């Protein structure tokens, strides 16, 4: 039994599928004499494909973003064509009978050791460029070599990885994923967001788990308390299978309320909307009873795209989400790249000392105005389609820190609209503009911000980590990065009151919107719009039906007197068990 951080509730039992850092299933076999020539040919084919891909990326990024940003791909092609790089791979294939993938793995290990010995930070960071080239080559080798493990595993699978990135999720399409366990990450990591959007039990921060689990092991994910059990005995397995059935039964029962309004016991209507990454999530949100899209994370379009999505590709992606959410409001957030989400063509070639507080989100968009304008134009065009089919689009900007930034983005939106008008292209006539409140400075000065925006969305994931000065993806400080910390509750209460007084629409779209303990307190503070992973909507709708405003306010009054995070958590666990005992299995400790 091992313990980590529960990031998506529930219980799951399945076969472990281990995704290692680069190679899903590292080759350990030795080649036969008659296989060497074919393996060298496979490597050359993969190298040619990778080189062509890098050249295409260089041209496209140079045209759409700029030559300096495209230079990274020319550098990667230079590494790919480097004689020493290629000769090492060929030598190990011929002399040691390694597969090309195994040779690349050995090469990366060798370069990593070599580069880390230097005191030059720039040279140290070059190992990441080599890593990118190796990953690209490995991907193409997989196209011409043996099938991956996804083709031989069947039945319920528990994915075990260091971290689960958006690009890796694509490779899981053929698997019946029942649970996710990651060594890195936290409640707001990619793996956590992916798991919650699909209603999959998940645990992060499980350091060293890949050293103790191998593909094919039986593994239990008990995300109620953050426990993972490897190769349970027959009695343990039977007990957890029973809990798993109860979890699925509860989910089925809650899903039956999809057509019911989100309303409290005393008749107060709430808005439960969804956080999504694309059209598939939007359809899932509608199926779960969401009344709209509170947060469309457009960066996933960039992170999973092979290069740079152009205006037409973005327009089509936004249009697909609108069509998947008929007669609803869709809030589209502009590109939120940086921190833990990076793309090389926007200059993310050097590691920042403090990436979450550095060059990211709206700050990055300001530095690439033409690139940003492409997204604004695509959203405005999609808004025209939304109006035509009876839906509405709102445009939201991430990481707004100062009043000047709001005024600047409004000017850029107006400029994009003017361009479309001159080109006689249809665009939305009444697109509401809003800010994502994530930075403490913006929370403190919210009264000054409100006259400049149509709506506000609280991004609690970042707001919590900035308030507590605790990196949300660092398990060493995860005890500080807690949404129920008293300082966080005080700031949220301040923002909610300010928005109520001004009459401006307010939604909370961080992960705490789908956490039962936080939901009760936010409702009592006056919040009426919650945006969450689609899978959480039925349970929050059920929780709302157990609440009255007076009972929730009584709970809030007591919670606000408590001076420690642990105290608030204990108290809210007790209150939730009293208010809605049927939701205990969905309460993450």
- Listed by start position, the domains of the chain span 2-18+150-251, 33-144, 264-586
Judged by DSSP in three states, 288 sits in coil
Contacts of residue 141, Cβ cutoff 8 Å, sequence gap at least 6:
42, 43, 46, 100, 101, 104
What is the chain's percent helix, strand, coil content, to nearest 5?
A: 55, 15, 30
Q: How many Cα atoms sit within 13 Å of 297 on the Cβ side? A: 24
Q: Is residue 247 within 8 Å of residue 10, measured between CB atoms?
A: yes
Q: What's the confidence (pLDDT) of residue 471?
A: 81
State the sign of the Cα–Cα–Cα–Cα dihedral 56, 57, 62, 68: negative
264-586 folds as: TIM Barrel (3.20.20)
Judged by DSSP in three states, 384 sits in helix
**Which of 55, 239, 203, 186 has its CA nearest to residue 461?**
186
Q: Is residue 182 within 8 Å of residue 44, measured between CB atoms?
A: no
33-144 maps to CATH 3.90.550.10: no
d(CA 172, CA 176): 8
d(CA 126, CA 136): 16
What pLDDT digit, counting tens, does each position of 40-90 carry? 999 999 999 989 888 887 887 777 766 766 777 788 888 888 888 999 999
Q: For residue 548, what are its two tokens?
A: 């009255």
Q: Is residue 305 within 8 Å of residue 299, measured between CB atoms?
A: no
Q: What is the value of pTM for the model shown?
A: 0.76
Distance of CA 570 to the CA centre of its chain: 28
Q: What's the confidence (pLDDT) of residue 417?
A: 97
**Which of 99, 101, 87, 171 has its CA nearest to residue 136?**
101
Q: What's the confidence (pLDDT) of residue 144?
A: 46
d(CA 425, CA 8): 43
Q: What is the DSSP letter of 355?
A: G
d(CA 580, CA 225): 19
DSSP H or E stretch at residue 395 = strand 392-397
d(CA 125, CA 116): 9
Q: What is the DSSP letter of 352?
A: -
Query: Cα Rg for the chain, rounded, in angstroms?
Result: 25
Catalytic residue flag (residue 509):
yes
d(CA 349, CA 368): 16
d(CA 538, CA 545): 11
Q: String of b and e for 462-490 (b: at least 16 CB within 10 Å)?
A: bbbbbbbebbbbebeebebbbbbbbebbe
Q: What's the confidence (pLDDT) of residue 25?
A: 44
2-18+150-251 maps to CATH 3.10.450.50: no
Q: ∠ at Cα 472 (408, 200), nearest 5°?
A: 105
Q: Which of 76, 105, 140, 190 is catalytic?
A: 190
Q: For residue 329, what are its two tokens?
A: 């409001």
Q: Is residue 362 within 8 Å of residue 398, measured between CB atoms?
A: yes
Residues in the chain with pLDDT values less than 50: 21-25, 144-152, 167, 170, 348-349
d(CA 369, CA 348): 17
Catalytic residue flag (residue 190):
yes
- The angle that helices 516-525 and 549-559 make with each other, rounded to 10 degrees, is 100
Residue 422, class by beta-carbon neighbours within 10 Å (0-12 exposed, 13-18 middle, 19+ buried)? Answer: exposed
Q: What's the confidence (pLDDT) of residue 157?
A: 92
Range list of β-strands (E), 21-172? 156-161
Tell me whether strands 227-230 and 218-222 are parallel, antiparallel or unpaired.
antiparallel
Q: Which residues does residue 179 pair with via DSSP β-bridges, in sequence order?
A: 158
d(CA 14, CA 556): 40
The torsion angles phi and psi of 556, rounded to 5 degrees, stand at -60, -45
DSSP H or E stretch at residue 458 = strand 455-458
Q: Which of 18, 481, 499, 509 is catalytic?
A: 509
């Amino acid at each position: 039994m091992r313990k980590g951080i529960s990031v998506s509730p529930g219980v799951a039992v399945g076969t472990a599928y281990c995704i290692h850092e680069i190679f899903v299933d590292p080759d350990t076999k030795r080649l036969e004499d008659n296989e060497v020539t074919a393996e060298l040919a496979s490597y050359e084919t993969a190298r040619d494909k990778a080189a062509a891909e890098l050249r295409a990326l260089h041209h496209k990024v140079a045209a759409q973003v700029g030559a300096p940003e495209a230079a990274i791909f020319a550098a990667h092609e230079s590494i790919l064509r480097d004689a020493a790089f290629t000769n090492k791979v060929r030598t190990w294939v011929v002399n040691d009978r390694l597969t090309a993938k195994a040779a690349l793995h050995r090469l990366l290990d060798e370069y990593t050791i070599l580069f880390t010995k230097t005191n030059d930070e720039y040279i140290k960071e070059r190992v990441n460029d080599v890593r990118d080239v190796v990953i690209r080559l490995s991907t193409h080798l997989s196209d011409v070599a043996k099938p991956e493990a996804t083709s031989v595993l069947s039945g319920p699978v528990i994915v075990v990885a260091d971290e689960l990135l958006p690009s890796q999720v694509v490779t899981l399409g053929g698997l019946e994923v029942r649970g996710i366990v990651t060594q890195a990450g936290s409640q707001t990591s990619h793996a956590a967001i992916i798991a919650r959007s699909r209603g999959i039990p998940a645990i992060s921060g499980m350091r060293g788990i890949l050293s103790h689990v191998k593909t094919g092991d039986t593994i239990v994910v008990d995300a109620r308390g953050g426990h993972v059990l490897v190769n349970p005995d027959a009695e343990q397995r039977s007990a957890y299978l029973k809990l798993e059935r109860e979890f699925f039964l509860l989910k089925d029962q809650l899903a039956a309320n999809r057509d019911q309004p989100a309303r409290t016991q005393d008749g107060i209507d709430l808005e439960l909307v969804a956080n999504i990454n694309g059209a598939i999530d939007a359809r899932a949100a509608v199926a779960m009873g969401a009344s709209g899209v509170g947060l469309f994370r457009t960066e996933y379009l960039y992170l999973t795209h092979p290069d740079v999505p152009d205006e037409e590709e973005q327009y089509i992606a936004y249009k697909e989400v609108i069509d998947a959410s008929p007669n609803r409001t869709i809030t589209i957030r502009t590109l939120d790249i940086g921190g833990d989400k990076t793309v090389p063509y926007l200059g993310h070639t050097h590691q920042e000392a403090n990436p979450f507080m550095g060059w990211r989100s709206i700050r990055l968009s300001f530095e690439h105005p033409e690139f940003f304008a492409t997204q604004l134009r695509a959203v405005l065009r999609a808004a025209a389609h939304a109006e035509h089919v009876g839906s509405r689009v709102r445009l939201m900007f991430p990481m707004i820190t100062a009043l000047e930034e709001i005024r600047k983005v409004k000017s850029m939106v107006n400029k994009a609209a003017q361009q479309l008008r001159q080109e006689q292209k249809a665009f939305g006539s009444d697109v509401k503009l809003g800010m994502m409140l994530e930075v403490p400075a913006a929370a403190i000065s919210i009264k000054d911000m409100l006259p400049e925006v149509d709506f506000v969305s609280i991004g609690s994931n970042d707001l919590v980590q900035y308030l507590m000065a605790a990196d949300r993806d660092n398990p060493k400080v995860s005890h500080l990065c807690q949404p129920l910390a008293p300082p966080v509750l005080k700031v949220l209460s301040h923002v909610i009151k300010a928005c109520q007084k001004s009459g401006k629409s307010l939604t909370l779209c961080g992960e705490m919107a789908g956490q039962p303990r936080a939901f009760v307190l936010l409702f009592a503070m006056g919040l009426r719009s919650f945006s969450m992973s689609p899978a959480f909507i039925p349970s929050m709708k059920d929780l709302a039906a157990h609440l009255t405003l007076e009972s929730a306010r009584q709970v809030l009054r007591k919670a606000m007197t408590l001076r420690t995070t642990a105290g608030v958590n204990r108290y809210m666990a007790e209150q939730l068990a009293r208010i809605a005992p049927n939701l205990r299995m969905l309460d993450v400790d």
